Amino acid sequence: MEKGVCFTGIPSAEELAKAPGVPARSEMNKGPVAVIECVQEIPCNPCEAACPSGAITVGSDITKLPVLDAEKCIGCGNCLAHCPGLAITLVNVNYSETEAAVSFPFEYLPLPKVGDEVNAVNRGGEAVCKGNVLSVRMPQSYKQTCIVTIAIPKKYVEDVRSMELPIKRALPEPAAKKEIDKSSLICRCEELTQADIEKAIEEGATTLDGVKKHSRAGMGLCQGKSCERLVARIIAEKTGQKVENLLPATHRPPVRPIRLKVVDDDADIE
Ligand code: SF4
Ligand code: SF4
């Protein structure tokens, strides 16, 4: 299977190596620092405004990846709870002689308690090692998301990014299948609803490229980064195909609008 966040939901090593929000290990060794594992160019930037020290820059083109200036990061952790993608952790490599501390957003109940021993997990949710809960806090600036900090053996600091639920909960009974609201927005850039995507499929489109050509889903500013997985699920449901067998749609540059002045110096409008 192809690797990368578009295919598995988990950023690959290559994507992380290129992400401008991930500090070099030499920067991590200096003290607590944000690790921004944001690898998709989607329209999003709350991390930038959440940083009190100007360490994060997205800029006016909000589809750009956040850039971290590790020198400016004071390790406050503000950006963690403000990221809707839960893509940011705070890493303190030198928490103690043998342990590192990793802080991450945690949006499940029950919350752990300080002193609990938990299973620390990697980006894919697989248990990596044991961790001890050092703190559990609700940031004043964003009270909906809890920030948990755990201590783990230093050697796992590159892998651990969250923890398992403190207790296993019984899975709820499967809910009766809900009627899907056909007016739900699927492609935000082109303002296409569930009904629009289904119509494209009913008219014969059975692939992501086919739906794109019929409806323009994925042709907008984000180039399908927000809607592609949703469209794939709708195609799979309506045609009986497996999501993992659907090929990604072709991306065709230029992918962003440019000002007329760029192509014509004499253009009267910007
Ligand atoms: S941890 Fe604090 S200082 Fe560092 S990038 Fe996040 S908000 Fe900015
Ligand atoms: S808030 Fe999170 S998802 Fe949005 S740009 Fe910043 S790091 Fe990426």
How many Å lie between the centroid of ligand 2 and the Cα of residue 72? 18
Is 253 a residue whose pLDDT tops 60? Answer: no
Share of residues in the chain with pLDDT > 70 (%): 91
For residue range 207-232, list pLDDT tens digits in order: 999 999 999 998 887 778 778 889 99
Instruction: Name the closest-CA residue to atom 7, ligand 2.
Output: 38
Residue 169 lies in a domain: no
For residue range 84-115, list pLDDT tens digits in order: 889 999 999 999 999 999 999 998 888 999 99
Are 112 and 47 within one domain?
yes
Are 134 and 248 within one domain?
no
Domain total in the chain: 2
Instruction: Name the closest-CA residue to atom 1, ligand 2.
Output: 83
Match 């705070």 to its residue by tokens: 90
Is 244 a residue whose pLDDT tops 90? Answer: no
Domain hosting 146: range is 5-163
- C-beta separation of 112 from 136 below 8 A: yes
Are 46 and 127 within one domain?
yes
Classified as helix, coil or strand, 91 is strand
Measured at the alpha carbon of residue 218, what is the angle toward residues 216 and 223, in degrees to the nearest 5?
A: 135
Distance between CA 123 and CA 160 in Å, rounded? 7
The atom number, within ligand 2, closest to the CA of 45 reads: 5
Instruction: Of 46-55, 198-207, 225-234, give the lowest mean pLDDT range.
Output: 225-234
Residue 168 lies in a domain: no
Cβ atoms < 10 Å from Cβ of 166 = 19
Residue 216 lies in a domain: yes
Burial of 22 per CB tally in 10 Å (0-12, 13-18, 19+): buried
How many Å lie between the centroid of ligand 1 and the Cα of residue 73? 5
C-beta of 53 in contact with ligand 1 (< 6 A)? yes
Residue 255 lies in a domain: yes
Instruction: Name the closest-CA residue to atom 8, ligand 2.
Output: 38
Residue 23 lies in a domain: yes
